[in-house]
Amino acid sequence: MTGVLIALLAVPLAAGFLGLLGGKRVAPLLAVLGTTAAMVFALLLALEVNPGDHTAAVDLNSTWIPSIGVSFHIAIDGLNAVLVLLTTFVFAIGTWWSLRDPELATPSYLFLLAIGEAAVLGAFVAQDLILFVLCFDLMLLPFVLIAARGAGGDGEFSIGPVLLLLVYTLVGSLLMFVAAVGLAILTAKNTGQPVTFDLAALYGATLAPSTQRWILLAFLAAFLIKMPVVPFHGWFPGAYRTMPLPALAIFAAILSKVAAYGFLKIALPLLPDAVVDWRLVLVILALVSIIYGSLVAFTTNEPRLILGYSSVAQLGFILLGISSLDPAGAQGAIFQSVTHALVVVPAVILLALVSERAGGVERLDQLGGIAKRAPVLSALFLVVVLCWLAMPGTGNFVAEYLVLLGQWRVAPWAAIIASIGVVLAAAYALRFMIGAMQNLRGAAVPEHGVDIGGFERGLLALSIAALAVVALVPQLGLRPSDAASRNAVYPARSLYESQKKAGGDEAVAGVPAEDQESTR
Amino acid sequence: MTSTVGTLAWLVLLAPLFGAISIGLLFKQLSGRAAGALATTVLFTSFALSVATLVALQSEPEESRQVTANLWDYAVTAGLDVKLSLLVDPLSVIMMLVVTGVSSLIHLYATAYMVSDEGYNRFFSYLNLFVFSMLVLVLGGNLVLLIVGWGLVGMASYLLISFWYRRKTATKAGIKAFLINVFGDVGIVLGSFLLLRHAGTVDYLELFAKAEGAFAAHPHDLTWGLVLILLGAFAKSAQFPLHTWLPDAMEGPTPVSALIHAATMVTAGVYLIARLHPLFELSDVAATVGVVIGTITLVMAATMAIVQTDLKRIIAYSTMSQIGYMVVAVSAGAYTAGIFHLMTHAFFKALLFMAAGSVIGAMGGVQDIDRMGGLRKALPFTFACFMIGSLALAGLPPFSGFFSKDEILGGLLERGDWYTIIAAIGYLAALLTACYSFRAIYKVFYGDLNEETQQIADGHHLHFAPANPSTGEAEDYEVGFPGKEHHTAEENLPMKVAMGTLAFLAVVAGLLQIPHVTHVVGDFLHPTFHASELLEQTEASTSTALLGMGLGTLAALLGIGIATQLWLKKPGSTAGIQAKLQSLHTLLSNKYYVDEAIDLIIVRPFRWAGAVFERHTERLVTQTAVVGGSSGVVRIASALVRAAQTGSVRIYAAVVSSSTAAILLYALVVR
Amino acid sequence: MIAVVKTPTFDWEALAPIVALGGGMVVALVLGLLPGRGGRFLAVLSGVIATGIAIGAAVLLWNHGVQREAIARSVVIDRASLAAIVIASGSALTGILLAARAHGTEDAGHGETTALILASAFGMAILASANDLVTIFLGLEMLSIPLYVLCASHVDRTASLESGLKYLILGSVGSATALMGLALLYGATGSMYLPDIARTAGDSDLQGLIYPGVALLIAGFGFKLSLAPLHQWTPDVYDGAPTAVTAFMSVATKTAALVVTARLLLVGLGAEDVRDLWEPILLTLAAASIIIGNVGALGQPGMKRLMGYSSIAQAGYLVAALAVGAVGALLAYLAAYAVSTLTVFAVVSARESERPELGDDISALDGLAKERPLLAWLGTLGLFGLAGLPLTAGFFGKVAVAGALVNADKAWLAVLILIGSIISLAYYAPPVIRMWRTVGPDAEEASDEPISVTSTPSGAPNLAGGATGSAGVVAPVPTGLRWEVALIGTVAAALVLAGGLYPDPLLNLATEASAALFGVQ
Amino acid sequence: MSITWYLAVSAILFAIGLFGVFVRRNPLVLLLCLELLLGAANLALLAFDRHHAANDGSILAIIVMVVAACEVTVGLGIVVAMHRRGQPIDVDRTRELQG
């Protein structure tokens, strides 16, 4: 299966590159083939995962840069299998959708998307710290270039939002880069072994808590900015405004999840002491993101930003799940990553369709009344919005339930505050739907409208089918990561518990006895 | 894997889902009444399957009448074990029967009532979806599935309240209902965590089995968990202070009001408390909270109903009030009575709404009872149905409401202690109930014909230019607004059949459970409540039962008498009373200012915060603080460096030389 | 009486690259005299062949002995000098190709342009291999004087002449400073030969002169390396010089100067006490360069000027590595810098001939991805390579430098490099963003098109602007894409990418080369 | 005579040359000043040559003279080119490139 693993990364990239060489005629075809093939490979790989086992199901470890101890070590395990599958799915939908607009889907653009896909997949499957960091930084660049398409006007500030996207998010990434190097070198000093960036080797040896703290700080800078978490979200409104929508769908759906994944893959296992020390900070950041994001999403008039701020809030939930250091929270975070991505993609598609029906206007106060003119669109919109606000019965609800459950076990107050966000989510999602689709016709909406075409219907049907799967059988998404997520939170979790016990707190996080047993 | 009962239950559940999805997918193909016919057929099938389930369950021995039917793992991870499972026991079966039965009739009614609406297909798709959701709620075998059903009914309710989505008032009412219900959902979610924490399971049967042991050491957690769950129950069942959405929910089409906001969904809270009764019996505090809130609601709602002039809202308040009785009943341990009242209430309240719908149809959409009058002759069938419904509601023997309500109050009397006071309040509210129901009857059906109703008496329907009844905004008849034609039961057989059936049930259903005579409901429910001690305590003795029935009859008659005096005999006399009690009237007609209070305490601060964040904080975050702060230094430095770049060779040479000199100096001095 | 001239020993095999460059210079000069297109073609061809031979010979020599004394002890060919020769020849090749059909080269004469570039490269080769002070000065001037001429070679452009004059005057001051330093060094040790200097340092009665000598030497070479605060000539000269020349000198001059400085400081002046003198000076200069270069480049409207400032910052990174003696990291980063810079200049030059009215103005890059996707990809790779982003050689170059600094307990400078890199994104990225944007100045008509999925709500008015053609100059006629420019850009970009994908060979070669340098001791 | 004197004269010459570069605006005079700088270095070189009784310094000095000639040639060429374009022969007015 290692061949498939390589093909997973290489095939979309190769397809994109050949498309670049082949020109306008073949590039779309190759892009479709590449993304589809990646999806098939991801599915094959995901099937290899044994849910009861947290070790890698498919593992490839080859030398890359021996001179500085960096290896090309990639693997599929329970933690990343579902996310990898998700990534290929989202990229496939996004790429196919892009093909609708030949102006947009130039060979260069398709190759950029392919680079993005390879980088994101690389970050998910990386088992080497430098490889992870490299992919983490790299995945941003294609989207910056794509966002650059929309950088309007001349003068200094016209390219500002794109520049901000690049610089702001890379600040964090570069810090993480330094921290990664420091982590490996210091670990090597501790163990007396030659420097290696292989995660498996790093997991065993934990650093002194004081060292962990500054390293975690750098990792946090990278992850929190990329997610983004309030107040580190300053880059995203501009970026959301300039990015073409198909790319935005991918960007909003996937890139933030890599950061969330990074917490589980890197931060929690490698820096347990620091994570436990700063758990409260993370919880508070998560809560602030949830409430703040929801409130602004509820207030703003730009649909893109509603989407964006709601993502901030939802990412807050993911962070909340992670910071619970509880298996349920971690499972919830991973599953929320999946469900949120699956809902963002159709949401962006719908946003595009709505704006198309309003002459390109993207202002909520000028929209309205589209439902009457486009009943199919309206129905699909409704389904997506219901998933978006985590209606019980959807996969998104299961994810939020697990997140809140995990947090409840350690800090009920945080779960209670977070649940305000659940109500607010309903408020902004419905406000968006009502504002866009219902009530009387908005100023920008023409008298006679048309419903959506077959291509969009197909795309939305696919997305909604995916949503239906996670709604009906959430277990499909939860099962593979069961053991792996438990393993990921275990170091920090056990540390947290021992500290609590030492502190004489009798009610340790409220995990039932047998559950604590199963954590081991 | 599943027994016959289980399979049947799954089929009951899936039939309406099939209906909803197929109508949804075929909405362009289905024309005329096809969608209505399909939906109704599906529902009658579902009802038939429910009856089959009942039969199958009854054929089991009594001790094994609690059947779980699993499909597949839903979410089994990290200490959570949720399977897609149904729990079929007498309680869920009775709920299933009520839901599918009443729904079938309302579907039938709606096939005619909604026929001129442009959103006909959509309506039936939603309606079927609602029934599916409600069945998930009552059949779900664990707390998580309950929450799923709970959320889904809220969603369906939202969809149907804002069915006429181009009306701003409708979408507003919808979002309000939805948000309050989500708030309740959150309560149940958080409550479930507390139960899960100690019992380690969300499965009902396991939970009940482990509850006593698990919570012995943590009584407070149990109480808190149940109080949180009660939040959900109160939100769904429109109990104080989460009731404000229900009157607004009358924005929805009348069949919706009949089905969701009277017969089925709003009673979910009662079902929930009954379902979790083994837990409530372990926590006095939680049960007391239920009793107190139920009592407050039943009085409040009854008083508000007296001053309402909107026909549907009067019935809506009466619904709140009646659910208050049920909540009191199940919280106090009178489970049989509560569920029995739930059932009879479903019949007569659905009937009342249907009749109201017929009246509104004749009035061309007008709901204001001040504009009605003398319709007794013009709408005889409707009048008869409305009268039967009102008599049942008022609790006059031998109508169904009499027996069920009095079983509740009798149970409370029997339990004694402070419950006696609750019972007294209950009787007082019963008086008010009779009073406002007959106020509506007198104002709508009695009195003189006015200009408008005269036309109805002449055999015409009223027609008005399409407009929103609450705001007067002009509308059209397109999709998203109510249809052009309105319908009355007099002209439409399906409506007549549905109302007739319910009227019959409203009259006779009480006979199922006459104190010390018949025990059909109680016996049937016994397997569910067999372990309950409270149930026995609330089993009214003969004397109490007789006392209760006497008091009940008296209250009802008194109420009707007052109404007759005020609105039939001396129609103008209320103005004087109103003038004397001006402040009270203002308080009541403003619904105790609960809406305003919620707006002030919750809605406005959030809106304000959102506006401040968006307008000010965001700019700070995106521009000034983070970016500008750091780049400002850089920009200044950049300006300095570029200013130094004068372009003059001589200055450059001077800089080079002085730098060299500095290095030289360093070398000579520092070394 | 016949004087017996004692001829030094020549190792012609080892000298092959240097001879190729020198020979090429002569041949190009002669062939360039032929009339018409033939002369132009032959001159350029000879230049290409000469640099090709130089590169090939250097590659072949790589494994032939660690160190060979090519001309007596004065010129030493080792892996460090070979590395420098390869990079210098590569940039000479680039410069020749960029100049071949560029506007303005017609006036300068093709033979002359090619010959001067080769002459300068010849000087660089000598400088990089120089093992005594005389050869160092000779190489330095051999490198500089052709460059003065090249800078001024667009004689009908005021800026070019100004650039040449400024470079000449300031460069001469720098050379004189360096010469003074050399003289003092000679005075202090009594020897011109670097290993002897190292050996005899401390023996002489004038040994105290070594400190001012070192100070002046650092100032002189710091000037050539454009280290702040000796940097001020750089933006002006880079800006005014013809693009091909800027491309050539920004890479090649640095390479030669760095290698010779490394040799001088580490071989000749590596003694503990002397090292204690120059290390803090170099670190300070490096830090100042990183700050001033990065800050100055912000918001520059011209690509060449921007690259001028950026080269100051890059020199800072390089000298930081040099200061802690990490020649391996230095060479690895230098190679990455070289290929990235050449890529960028190839794009700028290609654009210049297509949009001559905009010249090297950053706005010439608007919408490049749509018009010339290849150039956009190249430019992106080059600029991201300079910024040290992933998948480019610069990423691992920075890894090497930062690692070396952390190892030498100079983590503060590593952090400063990090901060500098972040600032540098703010000027490397705008050209890239402009390349990829579609709503450039031409978007006015496009906005009437039916709504597509790419539409953006922020429809700021798009005004053409920033075009600053020099007054009084007749705008040259635009030409198509010159294939040789695209080719050399592609090769350089491919190397950028290769270094980013599989940096191990680069890192190993750099380590080998640095080992050769230390092998002298 | 002590080598110090030679060095002092050399330093003074160097300083004069530099001062000239600072204050003069005519490129031709600047070229002269540059010659002074190199001359100063040459003086130092020859002094050291004598002091060490070696001849390496002389060789370098001769090379420096050649280099100085080259520099001046190039400088003159540029000045002539500027003159032919009608540009002012004044470094203070030759500052189009700045910022």
| C369: amino acid identity, one letter | A
What gap in Å lies between CA A107 and CA C481, rounded to an integer? 20
C298 interfacial to chain B (CB closer than 8 Å):
yes
What gap in Å lies between CA B455 and CA B461, rounded to an integer? 7
Residue C462 has a pLDDT of 30
Query: Are B200 and A515 an interchain contact pair (Cβ–Cβ within 8 Å)?
Result: yes
In C235-274, the residues whose Cβ lies within 8 Å of chain D are 235-237, 239-240
Model confidence pLDDT, tens digit, residues D24-60: 889 999 999 999 999 999 999 999 988 888 888 899 9
**Interhelix angle A482-502/A327-357, nearest 10 degrees:** 120
Residue B375 has a pLDDT of 83
Peptide bond into B397 cis (omega under 30): no
Residue C370 has a pLDDT of 84
Around Cβ C330, how many Cβ atoms within 10 Å? 31
Among the ranges B492-506, C267-281, C300-314, C429-443, which has the highest mean pLDDT value? C300-314
Around Cβ A206, how many Cβ atoms within 10 Å? 19
| A406: amino acid identity, one letter | G
In B329-388, the residues whose Cβ lies within 8 Å of chain A are none
**Tokens describing residue C246:** 């800027």
What gap in Å lies between CA B278 and CA B555, rounded to an integer? 34
Least confident residue range of A160-174, A394-408, B129-143: A160-174
| B660: amino acid identity, one letter | T
A302 → chain C, closest CA residue = C457
Query: Average pLDDT, whole number, for chain A?
Result: 85
What gap in Å lies between CA A217 and CA A223, rounded to an integer? 10
Q: How many domains does chain C have?
A: 1
If 0-12 CB within 10 Å is exposed, 13-18 middle and 19+ buried, where does residue C470 land? exposed
Peptide bond into B241 cis (omega under 30): yes
Residue A237 has a pLDDT of 84
Q: Contact, B459 vs B333, CB < 8 A?
A: no
Residue C159 C-alpha, separation from nearest chain D C-alpha, in angstroms:
7
What gap in Å lies between CA A490 and CA A275, rounded to an integer? 12
B669 interfacial to chain C (CB closer than 8 Å):
no
B573 interfacial to chain C (CB closer than 8 Å):
no
Q: How far apart are the first and last CA of chain B?
A: 91
Model confidence pLDDT, tens digit, residues B286-301: 888 888 999 999 888 8
Hey, of D78, D93, D95, D98, which one would you mutate to test binding to chain C, going by the most C CBs within 10 A of its CB?
D78
Q: Contact, B143 vs B188, CB < 8 A?
A: yes
Has residue C448 been placed in a domain? no
Chain D and chain C touch, per 3+ beta carbon pairs within 8 A:
yes
Domain ranges of chain D: 3-93
The secondary structure of residue C449, as a DSSP letter, is S
Secondary structure of residue C441 in the 3-state scheme: coil
Q: Is the pLDDT of residue C451 over 50?
A: no
The secondary structure of residue B513, as a DSSP letter, is G
Q: Is the pLDDT of residue B531 over 90?
A: no
What gap in Å lies between CA A128 and CA A71, rounded to an integer? 7
Residue A153 has a pLDDT of 54
Of C149, C179, C239, the CB nearest to D38: C179
Has residue C132 been placed in a domain? yes
Rounded-to-10 torsion of CA B623, B629, B635, B636: 140
With beta carbons under 8 A apart, name residues in chain A contacting C511. 67
What fold characterizes domain D3-93? Helix Hairpins (1.10.287)
Has residue C6 been placed in a domain? no
Residue D86 has a pLDDT of 86
**Tokens describing residue B104:** 């079938």
Higher pLDDT, A289 or B518: A289
Query: Are C176 and D14 an interchain contact pair (Cβ–Cβ within 8 Å)?
Result: yes
With beta carbons under 8 A apart, name residues in chain B contacting A434. 162, 165, 171, 175
Residue C459 has a pLDDT of 34
Tokens 């149905």 belong to residue:
B385
CA angle A447, A448, A450 (to 5 degrees): 140
Q: Is the pLDDT of residue B413 over 70?
A: yes
Of D3, D47, D97, the CB nearest to C240: D97
ipTM entry:
0.85
With beta carbons under 8 A apart, name residues in chain A contacting B480. 369, 371-372, 438
Residue A310 C-alpha, separation from nearest chain B C-alpha, in angstroms:
13
Query: Are D98 and B647 an interchain contact pair (Cβ–Cβ within 8 Å)?
Result: yes
Residue C245 has a pLDDT of 93
Confidence of residue C249 (pLDDT cuts 50, 70, 90): very high
Instruction: Give the DSSP letter string of C189-203.
Output: HS--BHHHHHHHTTT
Rounded-to-10 torsion of CA A156, A161, A163, A164: 120
Residue C119 has a pLDDT of 95
Query: Are C437 and A151 an interchain contact pair (Cβ–Cβ within 8 Å)?
Result: yes
Per the structure, the complete domain to which residue C201 belongs is given by 12-440+480-519
Phi and psi dihedrals of A49, rounded to 5? Answer: -70, 135
What gap in Å lies between CA C207 and CA D80, rounded to an integer? 45
What percent of chain C shows pLDDT beyond 90?
49
Model confidence pLDDT, tens digit, residues A323-368: 988 888 999 999 999 999 999 999 999 888 888 888 878 888 888 8
Q: For residue B608, what are the CA distances in angstroms to A295, B182, B602?
A: 9, 21, 10
Closest CA to A466 of A402, A400, A375, A395: A395
Hey, of C133, C147, C161, C163, which one would you mutate to test binding to chain D, going by the most D CBs within 10 A of its CB?
C161
B649 → chain C, closest CA residue = C166
Tokens 């549907």 belong to residue:
B312
Higher pLDDT, B93 or B533: B93
Phi and psi dihedrals of C7, rounded to 5? Answer: -80, 140
Q: Contact, A284 vs A501, CB < 8 A?
A: no
- Mean pLDDT, residues B557-570: 85
- Mean pLDDT, residues B172-186: 90
Q: Is the pLDDT of residue A504 over 60?
A: no
Instruction: Give the DSSP letter string of B213-252.
Output: HHHSS-HHHHHHHHHHHHHHHHHHTT-TTS-THHHHGGGS
In which region does residue D53 sit, left (phi positive, over 0), alpha (psi from -120 to 50) or beta (all else)?
left
C34 interfacial to chain A (CB closer than 8 Å):
no
Model confidence pLDDT, tens digit, residues A227-274: 888 888 888 888 888 888 899 999 999 998 999 899 888 888 888 888
Instruction: Give the DSSP letter string of B499-512.
Output: HHHHHHHHHHGGGG
Residue C291 has a pLDDT of 93
What gap in Å lies between CA B156 and CA B80, rounded to an integer? 27
- Contacts of residue A372, defined as CB under 8 A and 6 or more positions apart, other chains included, come to A441, B166, B478, B479, B480
Confidence of residue C202 (pLDDT cuts 50, 70, 90): low
Query: Are D99 and B649 an interchain contact pair (Cβ–Cβ within 8 Å)?
Result: no
Q: Is the pLDDT of residue B21 over 80?
A: yes
Q: Is the pLDDT of residue C444 over 70?
A: no
Sign of CA dihedral C445, C448, C452, C454: positive
Q: Is the pLDDT of residue A152 over 80?
A: no
What gap in Å lies between CA C71 and CA C135, rounded to an integer? 10
Q: For residue C322, what are the CA distances in angstroms to B488, C272, C280, C495?
A: 95, 16, 12, 23
With beta carbons under 8 A apart, name residues in chain D contacting C156. 85
Instruction: Give the DSSP letter string of C249-309.
Output: HHHHHHHHHHHHHHIIIIIIS-SHHHHHHHHHHHHHHHHHHHHHHHHHHTT-SBHHHHHHH
Has residue C78 been placed in a domain? yes
Buried b (16+ CB within 10 A) or exposed e, C364-390: bbbbbbbebbbbbbbbbbbbbbbbbbb
**Interhelix angle B204-215/B219-236, nearest 10 degrees:** 140
Residue B615 C-alpha, separation from nearest chain C C-alpha, in angstroms:
18
Q: For residue B28, what are the CA distances in angstroms to A369, B32, B121?
A: 19, 11, 9
Hey, of C168, C232, C298, C423, which one would you mutate to test binding to chain B, going by the most B CBs within 10 A of its CB?
C232
Tokens 């039936």 belong to residue:
B124
Hey, of A408, A447, A476, which one would you mutate to test binding to chain B, going by the most B CBs within 10 A of its CB?
A408
Closest CA to C419 of A307, B153, B464, B634: B634
- Mean pLDDT, residues B252-259: 87
